[in-house]
Amino acid sequence: MPSSHTPKDVAEFMARRLSEQKELVQEDIVFDIERQFGKEFVYENENGNSAIDKKVLAEFRKLTPDAVWERGTRSWRPREKFDTPGSRDQE
């Protein structure tokens, strides 16, 4: 049975977590999303990694324009002065 939650609800949860913790590790937040909101908001990607539904990520990007995705640690964090201007992805 699908939950009554929306992708925006999940994105707001992620944005609050990022604000509180200053880092969101994908593996950890996927577990929390599945537990709190249901399996329809997470999946296993082609690389075998736990991932977040694309609709949730689109809402998250709208809510967190200053969040940066760190590929190496597979996590989001607040933008720093040294980050490439306008880029959401960092190595």
With a threshold of 0.95, does the pTM exceed it?
Answer: no
| Domain extent at residue 43 | 8-76
Query: Per residue in 23-82, pLDDT tens?
Result: 999 999 999 999 999 999 999 999 898 899 999 999 999 999 989 999 889 999 998 888
- Let me know: does 42 contact 52? Beta carbons within 8 Å: yes
- Residue 12 covered by a domain: yes
- Residue 3 covered by a domain: no
Element of type H or E holding 7: helix 7-21
- Residue 86 covered by a domain: no
- Let me know: does 13 contact 41? Beta carbons within 8 Å: no
- Residue 89 covered by a domain: no
Element of type H or E holding 56: helix 54-63
- Residue 39 covered by a domain: yes
